[in-house]
C-alpha cells in the first residue's frame, strides 16, 4: 500500500474590492438576494448567484418545506433554474452566501457539490466558486471539481 495526498488549491481574502467590477456586482447582488430565502424552519438564509457567459446574473435561494427533506438548497434551486432556462449558456462563476454572523464562509453541502460537478462536466468549462461570509471574508475555488476530490461522475457509467 502507498500513501497518497490530495491537495486543493484555493484563495482567501477579506475585501471584495479584490474582484473585478462585474464579479463585485455578482457578489453584492447575491448578498442582497438572501432576503428572498424561504427558511422558516432553520432560519438559515442562503443565496447563490451565478454569472453566465453573456454577463447575465441569475440568483436563487434555499426553499424549505414543513416536510423537511422536501427542502432544497440555494445552489440547487439556482442550478436547476439555470440549466432549464439557459441551456445554451455556460456558467462562468457562482457566488454562495450565508446570512448568518459567522467569521468564515460556509462550504456547500455534498449534494450541492455533486450537482455543481454535473453542471461543470456537462459544459466542459470550469465554474469558479466564490464562498462569501457575512463578515466579508471569502474563499475562491478555481472549479467545482476542487470541492469534491475523488468525485463520481457519468464517465464510469
Ligand atoms: N442549505 C443551502 O441552501 N445550501 C447548502 O449548501 C447547505 C444548506 C440550506 C438548506 C436548509 O434550508 C438550510 O440551509 C439548513 O440546512
Residue 3 within a domain: no
Centre of ligand 1 to C-alpha 73, Å, is 5
Q: Is residue 22 part of a domain?
A: yes
In a domain, 157, yes or no: no
Structural domain boundaries, residue 61? 14-149
Kindly report, residue by residue over 116-135, the tens digit of the pLDDT. Answer: 999 999 999 999 999 999 99
Q: What is the pTM of this model?
A: 0.97
Mean pLDDT of the chain: 97
Ligand 1 pocket by C-beta < 6 Å: which residues? 39, 42, 44, 46, 62, 64, 71, 73-75, 108-109, 112
- Domain-embedded: residue 9: no
Does residue 67 fall inside a structural domain? yes
Residue 36 Cα to ligand 1 middle (Å):
14
The count of structural domains within the chain is 1
Closest C-alpha to ligand 1, atom 14: 44
56 in a domain, yes or no? yes
**From 17, 64, 75, 120, active-site residue:** 75
Three-state secondary structure along the chain?
Answer: CCCCCCCCCCEEECCHHHCCHHHHHHHHHHHHHHHHCECCCCCCCEEEEEEECCCCEEEEECECCCCHHHCECHHHHHHHHHHHHCCCCCEEEEEEEECCCCCCCCCCCHHHHHHHHHHHHHHCCCCEEEEECCCCCEEEECCHHHHCCCCCCHHHC
Q: Residue 70 is part of a domain; what is its CATH number?
A: 3.40.140.10
Q: How confident is the model at residue 38 (pLDDT cuts 50, 70, 90)?
A: very high
Amino acid at each position: 500500500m502507498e500513501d497518497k495526498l490530495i491537495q486543493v488549491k484555493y484563495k482567501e481574502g477579506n475585501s471584495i474590492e479584490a474582484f473585478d467590477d462585474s464579479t463585485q456586482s455578482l457578489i453584492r447582488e447575491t448578498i442582497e438576494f438572501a432576503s428572498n430565502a424561504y427558511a422558516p424552519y432553520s432560519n438559515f438564509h442562503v443565496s447563490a448567484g451565478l454569472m453566465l457567459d453573456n454577463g447575465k446574473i441569475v440568483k436563487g435561494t434555499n426553499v424549505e418545506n414543513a416536510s423537511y427533506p422536501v427542502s432544497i438548497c440555494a445552489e440547487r434551486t439556482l442550478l436547476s433554474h439555470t440549466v432549464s432556462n439557459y441551456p445554451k449558456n455556460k456558467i462562468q462563476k457562482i457566488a454562495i452566501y450565508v446570512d448568518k454572523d459567522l467569521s468564515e464562509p460556509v462550504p456547500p453541502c455534498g449534494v450541492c457539490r455533486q450537482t455543481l460537478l454535473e453542471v461543470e462536466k456537462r459544459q466542459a468549462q470550469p465554474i469558479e466558486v466564490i464562498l462569501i461570509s457575512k463578515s466579508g471574508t471569502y474563499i475562491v475555488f478555481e472549479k467545482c471539481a476542487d470541492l469534491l476530490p475523488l468525485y463520481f461522475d457519468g464517465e464510469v457509467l
